[in-house]
Amino acid sequence: MSKTINFNNKYPPATAVFDNWATKGKDEGMAKGHANSVNFMFNKIKPYFNNQFSALDVGCGNGWVVRKFKELDTCRLSIGIDGAKKMIEKAREIDLDNEYIHSDLLEWKPQYLFNIIHSMEVLYYLEDPSKIIKKIYSEWLNSAGCFIFGIDHYSENPVSISWPEDVGVNMNTQSIGYWVSLMEDAGFRNVNYWQTGAKKDWMGTLVVFGEK
């Protein structure tokens, strides 16, 4: 497994950056920009929608994916968690029906287990993403649950490599193989990945899926 690279904590934490984005309204652009990738991810986990399910969105931002889950007839519970306080405040202002939690991801302990855990554009902001993936597997998912995540910043997507400097935030720059290995090492089975939305120099969103 490759080691952490391009993560030297020389920038402010990602939560501070996203607090600023929430204040400036940039969260709305994030939702629009990631919509196609999230639609692809929803299609991959569509079999889980056949029966009643609970869902957790990790790094939920303003809660748009939480609300997207709740639009499905079989969704009985949809929750979002984010480390950026202002993002959670904004989610709560928009949506009074669903639950939004402000917490450090590694410190949070859910009251119940989930059928589906989803995350979009979050994991590479963590210095050691293996910790949260292991926690998702062992403490957040039920015995028949699945975890699916999408990231745009990875080694095989060259245009994303400069993002830490461009945005001014720490990022964990890793290969597709690294992310697949983290899932397998955590215990996930049927691990698979796709690159969706590729065009010209853009290699697409890396989507990784695994079942418990």
Query: If you write DSSP's letter for every residue of 138-179 in order, what string do you get?
Result: IIIEEEEEEEEEEES-STT-GGGTTHIIIIIS------HHHH
Residue 27 inside a domain? The answer is: no
pLDDT computed for residue 1 by the predictor: 44
> How buried is 77 (Cβ within 10 angstroms: 0-12 exposed, 13-18 middle, 19+ buried)?
middle
Quickly count: other Cβ atoms within 10 Å of residue 154's Cβ. 24
CATH number at residue 189: 3.40.50.150
| pLDDT > 80? residue 30 | no
User: Structural domain tally of the chain?
Assistant: 1
DSSP-H helix ranges across 25-143: 27-44, 64-70, 85-94, 129-135
Residue 31 inside a domain? The answer is: no
Residue with tokens 């926690």: 135
Domain containing 197 equals 36-211
Instruction: Provide the token pair at 209.
Output: 């899926």
* Cβ atoms 118, 87 nearer than 8 A: no
pLDDT in tens, 184-205: 999 999 999 999 999 999 999 9
| pLDDT > 50? residue 120 | yes
